[in-house]
């Protein structure tokens, strides 16, 4: 039970602040019919997505995949005093798996924006294209991280926990920054539409 709680907390922290993902991962499966309904309903419409509808949808989808950005994560690998429970091997497995979940959620978020948002409102069209481009940059950063993760961390089991965390912060910096940029892009999109 303790490991399950740690996994959930780490997944949430990844997506909210650093790329550690997805407290909503279980709810993604439960809401998959809701996802289909949301995207399918608008797919059959030819009406351009309004600013108000876009703001609501963008907020809902971002929160669905990456958690509520107004809530502080329980665990934050970039917090000064962050540490983890259990063995290094267990933590690295959880951490690595959370990156796979993050990529899945990024791809689903992008697909939702592509499928739901109907062109015809110039400001919405531009902002949606910008958000999708930022998602693509984040996916690229996650792919780069994933490609070298196992090799880079092969000797981490011999390190002290604080050294493991320091190493993960270093190799995850690009993905961390990419997720922060995506969050900022989503917030800026809503701000540019003059919607709170």
DSSP annotation string for 168-194 = HHHHTHHHHHHHHHHHHHHHHHHHHTT
Structure pTM?
A: 0.76
Q: Does position 17 have pLDDT exceeding 50, yes or no?
A: no
Higher-confidence residue of 104 and 22: namely: 104
Q: Which residues contact 137 (CB under 8 A, 6 or more apart)?
A: 178, 181, 182
3-state secondary structure of 20: strand
Q: Does position 34 have pLDDT exceeding 60, yes or no?
A: no
Q: What percent of the chain has pLDDT over 90?
A: 60
Domain boundaries, the chain: 2-192
Tell me the pLDDT band of 76, cut-offs 50, 70 and 90. confident
Tell me the pLDDT band of 72, cut-offs 50, 70 and 90. low
State residue 183's pLDDT score: 93
What is the distance between the alpha carbons of residues 111 and 116, in angstroms, rounded to a whole number? 8
- The answer to whether the CB of 22 falls within 8 A of the CB of 101 is yes
Q: Does position 36 have pLDDT exceeding 80, yes or no?
A: no
Long-range Cβ contact pairs of 150-157 (< 8 A, separation 24 or more): 150/96, 153/92, 153/96, 156/88, 156/92, 157/87, 157/88, 157/89, 157/92
């Amino acid at each position: 039970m303790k490991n399950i709680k740690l996994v959930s907390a780490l997944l949430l922290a990844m997506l909210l602040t650093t790329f550690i993902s997805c407290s909503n991962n279980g709810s993604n499966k439960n809401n998959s019919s809701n996802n289909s309904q949301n995207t399918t309903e608008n797919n059959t419409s030819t009406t351009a997505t309004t600013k108000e509808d876009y703001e609501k949808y963008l907020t809902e989808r971002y929160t669905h995949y990456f958690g509520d950005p107004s809530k502080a994560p329980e665990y934050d690998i970039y917090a000064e005093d962050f540490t983890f429970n259990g063995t290094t091997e267990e933590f690295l497995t959880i951490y690595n798996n959370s990156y796979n979940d993050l990529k899945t959620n990024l791809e689903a978020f992008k697909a939702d924006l592509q499928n739901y948002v109907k062109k015809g409102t110039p400001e919405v069209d531009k902002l949606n294209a910008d958000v999708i481009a930022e998602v693509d940059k984040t996916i690229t950063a996650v792919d780069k991280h994933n490609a070298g993760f196992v090799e880079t961390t092969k000797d981490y089991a011999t390190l002290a926990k604080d050294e493991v965390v320091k190493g993960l912060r270093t190799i995850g910096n690009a993905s961390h920054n990419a997720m922060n940029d995506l969050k900022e892009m989503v917030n800026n999109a809503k701000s540019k539409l003059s919607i709170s």
